[in-house]
Amino acid sequence: MIFGAWSTVAAQETELEDCVGPDSDFCYDSTAVFVDEGCDRTFLRYRGNIAWPAILNVGPVTISVLTRNVEFYMTWIPLYVEVRGRTNPGDGTECLTGLGGHLVLVAQGGTQCGGTWESVGPLDLRPYGVPLGSYYNLQLVFFQALPGGFPGLEAHSIGFSCIRVVSHPSGVQPSSWSNVKQLYQ
């Protein structure tokens, strides 16, 4: 696994905003491949996964990715956004890639200059194995097909530029009846 440059993340990080570039905060399985640059945005693709350091689940989230589909360059395969719960409560905030994520968004990418934001949410992460108060990673999964009939061209995932995660914590959270009874003793 190759790690990109990323800074230390505080244990209470609940939101994320990151774009490709020298200050990117994600790790990756392969080197970046240029897809497009225009309208003040750079779009890259990878082979395999890229992922961000752990985020604390404090309630529903909206997950958005800025993508670009450049049909001339055979960007026909969507970009898959996964949530990956941290299984060990002692896990730190390091960046992990690999298997084990739950699919939450399939981004098709727009063709307009500057890309297209695609979003899902507000999304409750508990059905995806991420209880409130626990950590999770976001990862993007890129694919690349085997070389085709024309030398040097193969279908691959759309270009990626930015990700944004916005938390929507609620003051009202579900509780068990025994916890409610304890409040009134």
- Per-residue pLDDT band for 154 (boundaries 50, 70, 90) equals confident
> Under CATH, which architecture does the 16-183 domain have?
Sandwich (2.60)
CA atoms within 13 A on the CB side of 120: 12
Give the H/E segment covering residue 179.
helix 177-183
pLDDT at position 31: 85
With H, G, I as helix, E, B as strand and everything else as coil, classify residue 41: strand
The residue that leads in pLDDT, 57 or 33, is 57
Mean residue pLDDT across the chain: 81
With H, G, I as helix, E, B as strand and everything else as coil, classify residue 38: strand
pTM metric for this prediction? 0.80
- Residues 6 or more apart whose Cβ sits within 8 Å of residue 142: 45, 46, 47, 48, 49, 50, 77, 79, 156, 157, 160
pLDDT at position 173: 55
- Residues 6 or more apart whose Cβ sits within 8 Å of residue 120: 62, 63, 81, 104, 105
Q: Is the pLDDT of residue 184 over 70?
A: no
Amino acid at 134: S
pLDDT at position 8: 38
Across 75-87, average pLDDT:
87
How far is residue 120 CA from its own chain's centroid? 11
pLDDT in tens, 3-52: 333 333 344 589 999 999 988 889 888 888 888 887 889 999 888 899 99
| Token reading at 95 | 């960046």
pLDDT at position 149: 60
Residues in the chain: 185
User: What is the rounded radius of gyration, in angstroms, for the C-alpha atoms of the chain?
Assistant: 18
Beta strands in the chain, from DSSP E residues, in sequence order: 16-19, 27-28, 33-38, 41-45, 48-51, 55-56, 61-68, 79-85, 102-107, 116-123, 135-142, 159-167
Percent above pLDDT 70 for the chain: 75
pLDDT at position 13: 87
> d(Cα 137, Cα 86) in Å, to the nearest integer?
7
Across 41-69, average pLDDT:
93
